[in-house]
Each structure stands twice: as C-alpha cells, then as structure tokens.
Structure 1
Amino acid sequence: MKVGYARVSTDDQRLDLQLAALQAAGCKRVFEDHGISGTRMNRPGLSSMMRALRPGQTLVVWRLDRLGRSLNGLVQLIDELGRRGVEFQSLTEELNTSSPGGRLIFHIMAALAEFERALISERTKAGMLSAQLQGRHVGRPPSISDQDVLKANTDLQKESLKAVAERHGVSPRTLQRRLQKLRQTPGLLNATS
C-alpha cells in the first residue's frame, strides 16, 4: 500500500497539485501539513504518518523538499523508514528505494550528508581554536569570576565549602572545579595568599 505525504509552508498555499500527483501514483491515504516549514522535522502530519506506516508500505512524496529541507533530516527520516521495512518514493526526482538504483542514489545522498556534517564540525573547531588563540573565551561565561574564586579560597579557611559557595551563588561542585582550575595555574593562588 502506498501512503502519501504533502506539505505547504504557508497557510495561503494550496496542496491541490501535490494531492493530485499522490492520488495518480496510487496513494490510498495522504497525510498533510499546512503552514509548516520543511526545516522543522516535528510536524503533526509527519508524526501521524510515521506512526501509521507499517512494514511493506511505501511512503510517497511529490518532491523531496516536501518531506524536509535539510539533507541530514531527510537522510535520517528515510533511514528510519528503511529500518522499519517501509520503502520511499519521490515522484519528481524519480527516487525509489525499492530499486537498486534508488537505493544507490539514497546512499550517495547519505554520504554527502555525512560529509557536510564533518565539514561543519571542522569549521566549528577551527573557529573555536582561532578564537582561543586570539585570547577570546570560548563557551559559556564562568559562573564565578577568578577574583571571587580567590576570595572564596581565603574564606574556606574559616567557613565550609557549602557556605562559601552559597554566598557566591554557585554550587559547591562548581566552586571546587574553579578552585582546582586556579590551583593548576602556576603561582596564582600563592601570589594572592
């Protein structure tokens, strides 16, 4: 059995063309999403369709971008369909995972998505390294300043860790981590004591 999925990004767009193509392709049931971007993979119609699909069925879309806009999201979704024994067909791109050629094209798409993720990761790491080399802090700002950690270190001679941490508005574990980090900086704690 063929199951269709149709989506439009805005409420003023119509599904007529997609619905006609899906019916002509033999879809017995069609799930729809109106006014929802393809970048979102948590759509009501898409979720209902995924729950309804059974092994041996085929999901049919008019075009790939109706299912999703992100290559990564598409690959994950089609991969999940394959694990569940559901075939996939895109009418416009003539992609059909029930044929060897269709599976090959899909695997090429998956490899491209993996390559894209690796490139993004490399660019992110390079940007972070560049920022660190320029002396900029990468990540969340510290919850307690170095100056307050030094003061807390002095206060710990008279008070409990819990009391000092509460006064500085951090957890005892956070204060311990920050003290340990400062203790690893040569001469910093000794210079202030």
Structure 2
Amino acid sequence: MLIGYARVSTDDQNLDLQRDALQAAGCERIFEDMVSGAKVDRTGMTEMLAVLRAGDTVVIWRLDRLGRSLKNLIAVVEHLEVAQVGLRSLQENIDTTSSGGRLVFHLFGALAEFERNLIRERTRAGMAAARARGRMGGRPKRLDPAKRALALQLHQEEKYTIKEICQMMGISKSTLYNYLATANRVGIGAT
C-alpha cells in the first residue's frame, strides 16, 4: 500500500501542493503535519508509523518533509527498513525499495552532511577572522562605555533605585543587571 506523508512548517504554509502530488502518485492514505520538522512530537508522523505494515511504501514530496536533519532522516529510513517499509521521494526520484534507490539515498545524505559541515567551517572561520580584527559578534551594547560606567557609579553610590537608574539610562533592569554582573566578573568596583 502507498501511504503519503505531507508536512509544512508553519500555519501560513499550505499542504495542497504536496497533497495533490501524493494523490497523483497513488497514495491510498495521506498523513499530514503542520509543524516544524525539528519538533519531536509530530502527530501525523506518529500515526503513520503506527499503521505501516511490511510491504508498504511511504511516499513523500521531498526528503526534507520527512526530517529536518540528516541524522533524523536516516533514523526514520532505518526504522522503515526494519519494518520492511519502503520510502519513495517524488522530487528527488528516490525509491529505497530498490538497491539503486538505497545507494542514491545514502549518497544524497552524505553530500548534504558534507555541505552542512562546509557551511559550519566557513562560519567559524569568518567569525575567527572578525574576532582577529577586533569585531565581536552579537548585539551591540545598549550603552556606550561612558554611560555604562555612569550607570555602575550610580548603582555604587546607592542614591537611586535600580528602577530609577534604568529610567535615567533608558535601559531595562536585565540590561543593568548584566552590566553589574560583567563588572563584578572583570573586577570593576561594582557592588
């Protein structure tokens, strides 16, 4: 039996394209999820896995609909193999019921993992180069160093409440507490 699985990540996306493709492929049942692939709890996926029998084939529109990460995708495919259930991806033209389809699936998976590792390495190298030039990542500080020092001084003098200091400086309490914690770690005389 051909069993379809369709998933979109957000409520504003539409399942119609996938649903139409799965029906055209001959799926007798279609299970659907409207949730991110990164989420563990996907009720449509859980229901589909519960009804699968040996000899069935799960049909998906694209591989990324089944799992967000390569590790997750391979785990699902291994689960299907143990249950003697095939997998067919319409867009990638992969069918794991054949030995050639299994080979292509594993090659695509290896290439996808290689690409993610390259992206990760390039990102780390770019961040290291930026740090070497004195640029730190993240959101810029709300206050410049002089205003930060003034906020710390006002807190040390204990003439103003935390709320008053925050109002004067135009910052939130959490920002002030972060500045105080940083000053304490660095050893700038904040109390």
> Would the TM-score normalized by the shorter structure come out above 0.5?
yes
Cα RMSD after superposing both structures: 4.3
Alignment map for 1:7-86 (pairs within 5 Å):
19-20=23-24, 22-23=25-26, 27-30=27-30, 49-54=44-49, 55-56=52-53, 57-61=56-60, 66-67=61-62, 73=68, 75=70, 76-77=72-73, 79-83=75-79, 85=83
User: Once the 2 structures are TM-superposed, how far is the Cα of residue 2 of structure 1 from its aligned partner?
Assistant: 1.7
Following superposition, the deviation at residue 102 of structure 1 comes to: 3.4
Partner of 2:10: none
Deviations 1:42-62 (Å, cap 9, x if unpaired)?
Answer: 6xxxx675243124342124x
Deviations 1:126-146 (A, max 9, x none): 222222233334211123432
For residues 21-55 of structure 1, give each alpha carbon's deviation from its aligned partner in whole angstroms, at most 9, with x where no partner exists: x12xxx3224689xxxxxx956xxxx675243124
Say if 1:97 and 1:146 are closer, same or farther in 2 by CA, change over 3 A: same
User: Are 2:63 and 2:89, in contact at CA under 8 Å, matched by a contact in 1?
Assistant: no
Change in CA separation of 1:138 and 1:15 when aligned onto 2, cut-off 3 Å: closer
Give 1:143's aligned residue: 142
Tell me the residue number matched to 1:157. 156
Q: Name the CA distance, whole Å, in 2 between partners of 1:126 and 1:152.
A: 36
Q: Which residue number corresponds to residue 128 of structure 2?
A: 129
Deviation at 1:6, TM superposition (A): 7.1
Please report the TM-score for the alignment, with normalisation by the length of structure 1.
0.59
Q: CA deviation at 1:123?
A: 1.2
How far apart are residue 110 of structure 1 and its match?
Answer: 2.1
Distance 1:50 1:12 in 2: 18
The change in CA–CA distance for 1:162 and 1:89 in structure 2 (over 3 A counts) is farther
Query: Counterpart of 1:156 in 2: which secondary structure?
Result: helix
1:2 aligns with 2:8: no
Q: CA deviation at 1:99?
A: 4.5
Residue ranges of structure 2 left out of the alignment (5+ in a row): 8-12
The one-letter code sitting in structure 2 at the alignment partner of 1:139 is G
The size of the alignment, in residue pairs, is 167
Q: Distance in 2 between the 1:32 and 1:68 partners?
A: 15
Native 8 Å contact 1:6 1:67 kept in 2: no
Counterpart of 1:173 in structure 2 is 177
Q: Kindly indicate whether the alpha-carbon contact (under 8 Å) linking 1:58 and 1:88 is maintained by their aligned counterparts in 2.
A: yes
Paired AA for residue 28 in structure 1: E
